[in-house]
């Protein structure tokens, strides 16, 4: 398995087939943290299809501890700004609580910024819940601009 980055504490790699259960676990942990434990509808089978088969819709980086056990993830995809051009959209960014404040989050985020620069994307976008103070402080620490001028819109559809 190809490691993108490795140091004495963490390594980063692209998700691969058979990582679906770990990814689904992180998704559920994040939903629990965001006080939406019943909101997760995606299955491991859907993740496998959407992430690793023909029409891949996003990419996932996993961060692993020294035992090569995944302890966090970054889910992202290419978006398009009519004003700027190609951008990277960070859908989810999650590090398990026991591994926070140990440099892994900064390492993973920095790697995402490297992807943005290497591919020539114009910006990286994401959302953070207004009550998530630890995440807000993390983003402010790395110099991110947090915009309170936009209201999110969303429509939900039932899967057939």
Token pair 């983003």: residue: 139
Q: Identify whether 77 is a catalytic site residue.
A: no
CA distance 74 to 77: 10
Return the axis-axis angle of helices 44-52 and 20-33, rounded to nearest 10°: 110
CA distance 28 to 25: 5
Q: Which is it for the CA torsion 74, 76, 35, 27, positive or negative?
A: negative
Residues 33, 77, 99, 139: which is the catalytic one?
139
CB 78 within 8 A of CB 70: no
Please return the burial class of 108, using the count of CB atoms within 10 Å of its CB with bins 0-12, 13-18 and 19+.
buried
Task: Show which residues are catalytic.
Answer: 139
């Amino acid at each position: 398995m190809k490691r993108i980055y490795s140091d004495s504490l963490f390594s980063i790699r692209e998700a691969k087939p058979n990582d679906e259960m770990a990814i689904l676990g992180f998704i559920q942990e994040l939903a629990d943290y965001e006080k939406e434990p019943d909101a997760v509808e995606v299955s491991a089978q859907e993740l496998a299809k959407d992430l690793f088969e023909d029409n891949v819709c996003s990419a996932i980086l996993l961060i692993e501890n020294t035992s090569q056990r995944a302890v966090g993830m970054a889910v992202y995809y290419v978006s398009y700004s009519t004003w700027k051009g190609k951008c990277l959209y960070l859908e989810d960014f999650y590090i398990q609580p026991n591994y926070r404040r140990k440099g892994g989050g900064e390492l993973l985020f920095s790697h995402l910024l490297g992807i943005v620069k290497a591919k020539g994307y114009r910006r990286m976008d994401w959302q953070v819940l207004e009550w998530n103070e630890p995440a807000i402080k993390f983003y402010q620490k790395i110099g991110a601009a947090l915009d309170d001028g936009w209201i999110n819109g969303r429509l939900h559809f039932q899967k057939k």
